[in-house]
Amino acid sequence: MRELEVLQAGLGGFGSLLELTPLTEVTGVYALFLGLIALQWLVRVGREARLGYLPRVAWWAVPGLALLLLTPTLDVPALFGLGAAALLLAEFWPLPYRRVSRRPSPAWPLVSVLVGAVLALSVLQGEHSEPLAFVAAMCALLAGLAGLLGTALYPAGGVPARAPQPPLNFQTRWHPTVTPEWPDLSVTLSEQGAHLKNISPRPLRLAGWSPAGINAWYRVRGPDGQVLSELRAGQEALLPVGERDSGVRVWYGPDKSPDAHLFRADWTPLGRADGRVLN
């Protein structure tokens, strides 16, 4: 009970500090919750910076926290859902951090921190309540701190050059492969054949393909007949399957993965549709 009383007293004092800001509708518990999220994000930014990575999609955490902070102030519940979605996007989007080859400049983070501090002081000293301006100042401070962390924690000697990707060729077929939990490719059948589409957000290196159940090996080609060594996000290739083919096997590798992947797709061939027996 003693610890609970101390915690309540601490939150009460924290809430009294919030009364000095334009965000009077924000409770101490809610502000502490958002502060812990911001701290966790800054720790993640610092950890990635040590490995030579800087935020890319992860920057969505800044407007996400801003929307969560504005939800009780503006009394718009929909902002909470948008803010939570932005935070999830920043955390779980594939490759939310980008690899950089040299230490970033501290110029813009310093400017962001300076602008945020000046704006926050002007809002706190002003006569009128300006919650939007105060939240904008907090966003500038958070983004600037993240930028400074990226600059300060970036490896002093730079990051080592990325090892060259192993070539994908006929030998890939006989090597161990990985089948991803979520597919990177999709297949759509038409009169021309099987249309292979890259549905992932990244380019895929192509090795070759084979009809299911056949010991064959073909290079992947585009609709114009040109051999494709890479399939960009959203790009399609054409696999010339026949009426009696029941599926395809495609060997490929994601752009930043050293492992070969295998895509499997099976269907009931049109040439055998009349011979099916329904139980």
Looking at every residue in the chain, the average pLDDT score rounds to: 82
Segment 71-86 shows an average pLDDT of 90
- Look at residue 272 in the predicted model and tell me its pLDDT: 56
Q: Work out the percent of the chain whose per-residue pLDDT is above 70.
A: 82
Confidence of residue 110 (pLDDT cuts 50, 70, 90): very high
pLDDT exceeds 50 at position 59: yes
154 in helix, strand or coil?
coil
Residue 190's domain spans which residues?
Answer: 170-272
* Residue 175 and residue 57 share a domain: no
The dihedrals phi and psi of 192, each to the nearest 5 degrees, come to -80, -25
What torsion do the CA atoms of 146, 48, 55, 258 make, to the nearest 10 degrees? 180
* Residue 245 and residue 190 share a domain: yes
Q: Which of 153, 187, 215 is the last residue of a domain?
A: 153
Domain assignment present for residue 158? The answer is no
Burial call 201-214: b when 16+ CB within 10 Å, e when fewer: eeebbbbbbbbeee
Domain assignment present for residue 51? The answer is yes
* Residue 78 and residue 129 share a domain: yes
* Residue 266 and residue 128 share a domain: no
- Look at residue 198 in the predicted model and tell me its pLDDT: 93
* Residue 143 and residue 54 share a domain: yes
- The pTM for the full model equals 0.55
Q: What is the pLDDT of residues 141-172, one digit of tens each?
A: 999 999 999 999 888 876 655 555 566 777 77
- Look at residue 167 in the predicted model and tell me its pLDDT: 67
Domain assignment present for residue 38? The answer is yes
* Residue 206 and residue 89 share a domain: no
Q: Which of 153, 188, 204 is the last residue of a domain?
A: 153
* Residue 261 and residue 148 share a domain: no
Helix axis angle, 78-92 to 61-74, nearest 10° = 170
Segment 246-253 shows an average pLDDT of 91
| CA 203 – CA 200 distance, rounded (Å) | 8
Domain assignment present for residue 164? The answer is no
Q: Which of 153, 188, 223 is the last residue of a domain?
A: 153
Segment 76-86 shows an average pLDDT of 92
Type and span of the H or E element at 120:
helix 107-125
CA 138, distance to chain mean position in Å, is: 24
Burial call 156-189: b when 16+ CB within 10 Å, e when fewer: eeebeeeeeeeebeeebbeeebeeeeeebbebee
- Look at residue 166 in the predicted model and tell me its pLDDT: 61
- Look at residue 213 in the predicted model and tell me its pLDDT: 85
Q: From residue 94, give the alpha-carbon distance in Å to each of 56, 88, 91, 201, 260.
A: 10, 11, 9, 8, 18
Neighbours of 130 (CB within 10 A): 16
